[in-house]
A and B are shown apart, each in its own frame.
Chain A
Amino acid sequence: MLAWTVYLSFLASLACFCSPASRPSYARWIALITSVVATFLPLSILIFKTAPDSGAVQTIVHLSWVPSLGIHYLLGYDGISLIMVLLTGIAAMSAILFSWNIEHRTGEFFGFLMALIGGVYGVFISFDLFLLFVFYEIAIIPKYFLIAIWGFTRKSYGAMKLVLYSFVGSALALVGIMATFVVSGAESFALEHLIAFPYEEGFQRWAFPVTFLGFVILAGLWPFHTWAPTGHVAAPTGTSMLLAGVVMKLGAYGALRIPLTLFPMGAAMWREELALLAAVGIVAGALVALVHQDFKFIIGYSSVSHMSFVVLGLLATTETGLSGAVLQMFSHGIIAGLLFAVVGRMVCARTHTRDLKELQWMTLRAQLPFASTLFLLAGLASIGLPGFSGFVAELHVLAGVWQSFAWLSLVAGLGIILGVAYTMRAMLTVFWPSALVTDSGRAPILEPITLQEKWGACLLVVATLSVGLYPKWMLDWITPCLQSPMLKPLTEGMAPM
């Protein structure tokens, strides 16, 4: 049933491309309805299958595709996939709601958007590595067009940079996957076959870093992160919500599924060096966000900082750290979406400026009370206030990191404090400027928040609160997967020293 998320999205993409240009609302509604239906698929599994299973992978479809090379059309899911599919659904719905105002080539916009979403769904439910890689590539192409056609300032630069980084990353990942296939001599690319082979230490020593780096480039690991802020800023709001919310997760998800699962020994050899990079990313991203004057760049760099928590959690390679990484993937997907929605669509698109100095004159709190309340909530969620999902996730990551490399938890803690500082700085400058600048008369009249925007925002707020207040429902799906035989070698080898 989950496979229909992919099929429906691609069908909708096709339908949007074919929809008449004179009736732009057709494309909007097609996209929205498809994404709503696609979200209900994982949701129904979550709701009706009350007792989570053992964490084993449930196969959906298994067909032979290129028999001579052992490539299968193998779709399946486990708890982690399910969570990521749900995240994609929620992010897609709100991204579409926040793209409602696109008037320029509407059909094509939603066509590309749905193709991107379809590719993302595909990655999350593929259990044949070749197939996973195909979906991974499919997701890259629409990003380019979405940014290059509908983007803002320096859009072709941003789009090109993003696509080049993505291709470099996927090329590295492909090298790793191919080498694995050849070395193992398995007759198929299916994960379950590849995992059965005991890779020798020398092979893991180079295959792990190559594959891992290939994937985490897309997760924005420092120092390969520069595509992310540039791309996020250049993209139209709906796209940056998806980019930060879901596409960056592809990298982290891929890193968990492939290098960490296949090469636990390699992970043990390299994790300290790589974790150091992640910790540097947390602090560096936060520091840049602390001094930047561009509102969208601040959010972009905050994404880099928060995604580094995911990578750090993965590299802790303890059960707690990995749960934290998966929770943070979901949590950041929602919160980053919310932040980009407020900053991109509600504020910058209305005021036509992204400069903090300009924005403080806009009397935003009086004119857009909804947006300022929303940014308050999103900001509090982003700094990890208890009650929102970010807190639970970062707590897991920190606890996991304490068990593996204690001193990095101090660095990560520093990153959280800087996170408080830059979020407060942006929020206070833009929405609560000091009394001196409030009554200036310089502010233009801004159009009010639309109904679609309100719905999209509420959706995301509910999602982050539901995990933050009662994380058990999500953890019940994640924990069995981390204890499954597939990830056992990783966490067991790394049991606290």
Chain B
Amino acid sequence: MSGFPWLSLILWMPLLAGLALIVRERETGPSRTSTAWWLSLASSLVTLILCMKAPMESGPSLWKESIEWIPSLGVAYELGMDGMGCIMLALTALIMPVSIAASQRAGYNHEGFAGCLLMIQGTLVGVFTAQNFFAWFFFYEIALVPTYFLVRLWGDPGREKVSLRFFLYSMLGSIALLVGYLGLASAVGSYKFTVLAEASATQALPEAIGQRLAWFDLPVKWLITLLFALTFGGLAIKVGMVPVHGWLPDTYERAPTSVTMVLTGLMSKVGLVGMVKMVIPLLPYVPSSVLQATLAIAVFGLVYAALAAMGQTSFKRLLAYSSINHLGYCLIALLVLGQPSMGEPSMQTAKTFALGGLLLQMFSHGLISAGLFYLTHLGESRLQKTLRVDGPGGLRAIMPRFAGWMGLAVFASIGLPGLSGFIGEFLIFRGVFALSPWVAIGSLPALLITAIFLLRFLQHVFHGKSDPESEQFSDLSGSEMALMAPLFILIVLLGWFPHLIMERINPTIILTIERMIF
């Protein structure tokens, strides 16, 4: 489909405008941060219209663009919107304007700050629509730089070490991924994601790897394990899987809250989107023992994260661990797809559930965690200090609206039926249980633990003993609520009508699962 390059528009407009704002930053004179907000909003509206207009039944991708970029590697500037890209773009469009507005209200009235956020918005569009690895990696890496500076320059005290650790971890992940994917690309002879998927579906992949990647005559099994370790490991750093999550809690805690919204709501999904595109084709060929071991680590990780969240006193840190836990469900859903199904229909159905749950959970976790961090930010702007689990209590009487919204968000995060968090987790467990019962059973305690620590927080902060000095806190204003209203409307709406999302991602899911028939 040719025509107006819509995707390039929503990619480059915020990216270049953000860059311009950063370059033009002045110490004095009127600040132009509201320009940033309007630009972000405009770009988001265009994005949402594109997502709405995407015909649902159509297959692989829409609004395609392709320009020759690096002929020697067979790489083009290729963008396109598939089902997964569609929902992730919608998520970006919903969260970014809220984040920019929140940052301005928090007093970060710097053009540089707003500019960095705008740049992130643009690069995320690139990541979510890239059709080949080069384009994907290009925008993925560029996104790291503004993120680093947001934490480094505007974070809470201790930001120097935290931001550096974030950057080094991220680069470690990127390079592992780069080296690993280059191996895959030299095996299949192309950087396009579709070519890799095709090679996997036709079972040509292991042979290609064995032929093209000679390494001391190592058995193909080992080569595949190596490629899997590099690509999955590299992306897992980005998602914050447990043994490599060291950067995540500190970064989420020290980053300005509006940046944490983006980090958890969107950037952590980048790793998962990458896994769906790059790791899934490899999964059926990963040796079973390696896969089981990885699954065991993932299960351990998500339970560990839930337990760690229970031990936190800072609410932001608690949410960070809870985020690791929630994305852990996505990781197990992804990894169980590697179980051989032998073409059995029931197994295929289970895989459909798992993958559908993964995508829904990604979307819903994006909404919920962004909402939670936004509310945390609003609470902190009243308290003038960090929101703590054991902090001043009894806020419900003083700030009833705040308590109401927070309650909604917390219940969505726990996975209460009727809210979006439930559907994703339900589908994941439905799929995982059929494919690998012990994984599902092993992960169940985490659900319970999550409920415990979140409810404990609600109980104490809203119903506990009130503090005399919190009497003068003002409740949420209309504009503050209007800003987050779209997120919450969707959280509720999706709880009842998940097909709003499902019909957009179904073609992607079916296509992906069909390719893993053996």
**B-contacting residues of A (Cβ < 8 Å)?**
319-320, 323, 380, 383, 385-387, 391-392, 395-396, 398-399, 402-403, 405-407, 409-410, 412-413, 416-417, 420-421, 424, 428, 432, 434-435, 470-472, 475-476, 478-479, 496-497
**A-contacting residues of B (Cβ < 8 Å)?**
68-73, 134, 137-139, 141-142, 145, 152, 160, 164, 167-168, 171-172, 175-176, 178-179, 182-183, 185-186, 211-216, 223
Contact of A407 with B72 in the complex, beta carbons under 8 Å: no
Contacts of A424 in B (CB 8 A): 164, 167-168
Contact of A383 with B152 in the complex, beta carbons under 8 Å: no
Residue from B72, B172, B183, B214 within 8 A of A409 (CB atoms): B183
Cα–Cα, bound, A497→B160 (Å): 47
Contacts of A383 in B (CB 8 A): 171
Contacts of B175 in A (CB 8 A): 413, 416-417, 420
B226 CB to nearest chain A CB (Å) = 8
B12 CB to nearest chain A CB (Å) = 12
Contact of A319 with B69 in the complex, beta carbons under 8 Å: no
Contacts of B182 in A (CB 8 A): 395, 398-399, 402, 409
Closest B residue to A380 by beta carbon equals: B145
Contact of A413 with B179 in the complex, beta carbons under 8 Å: yes
Contact of B171 with A496 in the complex, beta carbons under 8 Å: no
Contact of B172 with A395 in the complex, beta carbons under 8 Å: no
B72 CB to nearest chain A CB (Å) = 5
Residue from A406, A420, A478 within 8 A of B168 (CB atoms): A420
Residue from B70, B134, B186, B211 within 8 A of A475 (CB atoms): B70
Contact of A320 with B171 in the complex, beta carbons under 8 Å: no
B78 CB to nearest chain A CB (Å) = 14
B56 CB to nearest chain A CB (Å) = 33
Contact of A413 with B216 in the complex, beta carbons under 8 Å: no
Cα–Cα, bound, A387→B15 (Å): 13
Contact of A410 with B179 in the complex, beta carbons under 8 Å: yes
Contacts of B168 in A (CB 8 A): 420-421, 424
Contacts of A319 in B (CB 8 A): 72
Contacts of B212 in A (CB 8 A): 403, 496-497
Contacts of A395 in B (CB 8 A): 73, 134, 178, 182
Closest A residue to B216 by beta carbon equals: A407
Contact of B186 with A402 in the complex, beta carbons under 8 Å: yes
Q: List 11 A-B contacts (CB under 8 A).
A: A385-B141, A399-B73, A399-B182, A402-B179, A402-B183, A417-B175, A420-B171, A420-B175, A428-B160, A472-B68, A478-B72
Cα–Cα, bound, A496→B183 (Å): 13
Cα–Cα, bound, A428→B134 (Å): 29
Contact of A386 with B72 in the complex, beta carbons under 8 Å: no
Contacts of B171 in A (CB 8 A): 383, 417, 420
Cα–Cα, bound, A475→B172 (Å): 29
A54 CB to nearest chain B CB (Å) = 16
Cα–Cα, bound, A391→B69 (Å): 14
A162 CB to nearest chain B CB (Å) = 33
Contacts of A413 in B (CB 8 A): 175-176, 178-179
Cα–Cα, bound, A420→B212 (Å): 30
Contacts of A434 in B (CB 8 A): 160
Cα–Cα, bound, A405→B141 (Å): 26
Contacts of B186 in A (CB 8 A): 399, 402-403, 496
B contact patch SS: helix
B220 CB to nearest chain A CB (Å) = 13
A495 CB to nearest chain B CB (Å) = 10
Contacts of A380 in B (CB 8 A): 145
Cα–Cα, bound, A413→B231 (Å): 13
Contact of A386 with B141 in the complex, beta carbons under 8 Å: yes
Contact of A320 with B72 in the complex, beta carbons under 8 Å: yes
Decide yes or no: A320 and B73 within 8 Å by CB, A380-B145, A417-B171, A424-B164 being known contacts.
yes
Closest B residue to A408 by beta carbon equals: B215
Closest B residue to A476 by beta carbon equals: B71
Contact of A385 with B145 in the complex, beta carbons under 8 Å: yes
Top 5 A-B pairs, shortest CB-CB distance: A413-B179, A386-B138, A406-B215, A420-B171, A402-B186
Contacts of B211 in A (CB 8 A): 496-497
Contacts of A478 in B (CB 8 A): 72
B100 CB to nearest chain A CB (Å) = 23
A114 CB to nearest chain B CB (Å) = 35
Cα–Cα, bound, A39→B387 (Å): 61
Contacts of B139 in A (CB 8 A): 386
Decide yes or no: A406 and B214 within 8 Å by CB, A323-B72, A416-B175 being known contacts.
yes
A217 CB to nearest chain B CB (Å) = 29
Cα–Cα, bound, A497→B209 (Å): 11
Contacts of A497 in B (CB 8 A): 211-212, 214
Contact of A417 with B172 in the complex, beta carbons under 8 Å: yes
A313 CB to nearest chain B CB (Å) = 12
Residue from A407, A417, A475, A476 within 8 A of B215 (CB atoms): A407
Cα–Cα, bound, A421→B13 (Å): 32
A470 CB to nearest chain B CB (Å) = 7
A165 CB to nearest chain B CB (Å) = 32
Give the interface centre of B168, B183, B216 by most chain A CB atoms within 10 Å: B183
Cα–Cα, bound, A272→B278 (Å): 30
A365 CB to nearest chain B CB (Å) = 11
Cα–Cα, bound, A387→B69 (Å): 12
Closest A residue to B135 by beta carbon equals: A386
Cα–Cα, bound, A435→B161 (Å): 12
Contacts of A435 in B (CB 8 A): 160
Give the interface centre of B73, B172, B214 by most chain A CB atoms within 10 Å: B73
Give the interface centre of A385, A386, A398, A479 by most chain B CB atoms within 10 Å: A386
Contacts of A385 in B (CB 8 A): 141-142, 145
B378 CB to nearest chain A CB (Å) = 28
Cα–Cα, bound, A412→B175 (Å): 10
Cα–Cα, bound, A398→B186 (Å): 10
Contacts of A417 in B (CB 8 A): 171-172, 175
Cα–Cα, bound, A391→B186 (Å): 18
A381 CB to nearest chain B CB (Å) = 12
Closest B residue to A402 by beta carbon equals: B186
B1 CB to nearest chain A CB (Å) = 24
Cα–Cα, bound, A323→B142 (Å): 24
Cα–Cα, bound, A424→B168 (Å): 9
Contacts of B179 in A (CB 8 A): 398, 402, 409-410, 412-413
Closest B residue to A383 by beta carbon equals: B171
Contact of A472 with B160 in the complex, beta carbons under 8 Å: no
Decide yes or no: A392 and B70 within 8 Å by CB, A387-B138, A428-B164 being known contacts.
yes
Closest B residue to A428 by beta carbon equals: B164
Contact of A432 with B152 in the complex, beta carbons under 8 Å: yes
Extra pairs beyond A391-B141, A407-B215, A428-B164 (19, CB < 8 Å): A385-B141, A386-B142, A395-B178, A398-B178, A398-B182, A402-B183, A406-B215, A413-B175, A413-B179, A417-B175, A420-B167, A424-B168, A434-B160, A471-B70, A472-B69, A472-B70, A476-B71, A479-B71, A496-B186
Cα–Cα, bound, A380→B182 (Å): 21
Contact of A387 with B72 in the complex, beta carbons under 8 Å: no
Contact of A406 with B167 in the complex, beta carbons under 8 Å: no
Give the interface centre of A380, A392, A479 by most chain B CB atoms within 10 Å: A392
Contact of B72 with A479 in the complex, beta carbons under 8 Å: yes
B122 CB to nearest chain A CB (Å) = 13
Cα–Cα, bound, A479→B179 (Å): 23
Cα–Cα, bound, A386→B139 (Å): 8
Contacts of B142 in A (CB 8 A): 385-387
Cα–Cα, bound, A399→B179 (Å): 8
Cα–Cα, bound, A432→B164 (Å): 12
Contacts of B160 in A (CB 8 A): 428, 432, 434-435
B21 CB to nearest chain A CB (Å) = 15
Contact of A471 with B141 in the complex, beta carbons under 8 Å: no
Contacts of A399 in B (CB 8 A): 73, 182, 185-186
Cα–Cα, bound, A126→B283 (Å): 53
